[in-house]
Structure 1
């Protein structure tokens, strides 16, 4: 099990499902105003406030291991291996759950994890361009990049028959 996204506790990020722009400036958003998109906007000038939409989810199954690997790569790059339990040792302490749904169950979803990151922010990226290409990474000048988000958008756009919604 892993959790991704959401829980953004920064100023200016509290919102409700109504996403009000003006009517809450004197109440719940009075001390939580943020608007970088309109120069000079403020509560004193009547807004508008920037609406915020935050998404998070719980992932189960093999994709949870991908989330762990992503966390581990980022942690190792920033902190080093002295302060992390290596994921290759997890098999010694974790009992893996058996799937409780079948591929025929309509409640079962297929999940892919995409990210946008480079070797400056994550460890274990291949330095050799050929090795990077074999694992779906792109090599540039002194940089190796995971652009799976960009590739997923391009794939979705190319597969769309009439319309596509991307948020």
Structure 2
């Protein structure tokens, strides 16, 4: 049975929510921890290899804390026998001080060319927002753009 990134994240979230410990797929490993204060953490991975030099891995984790704090991360890595590779991943977290979400990917072609991108959005506890995008290519280098706004949507300077 093929495991997709959304399916793995759903499995990790379900395990965190319901306290499941049984792995649903061969080659899968899930670990979890419950704290005395009601918090919980789950982490898992799945790796598949076809024996011909192609390998695929999924990793993910999630946490739940006090005061509504929660977050998750997930990634998918494919390495091919021809030398090409691709990694996609993302994370999200939220709590009393705001929220953040980021996702990105990087690819390596058979000739070694590397390209990547990442987008990130965040909202602070007062409603100010950040939206940023970073790209990389061997030919163009790194490019970054960012916009910030206050809780009314009015543009404001992005501070470092």
Category of TM-score, reference length = shorter chain: under 0.3
* Higher share of residues assigned helix: 1
Q: Which has the higher contact order (CA 8 A, sep 6+)?
A: 1
Report the TM-score when normalising by structure 1.
0.26
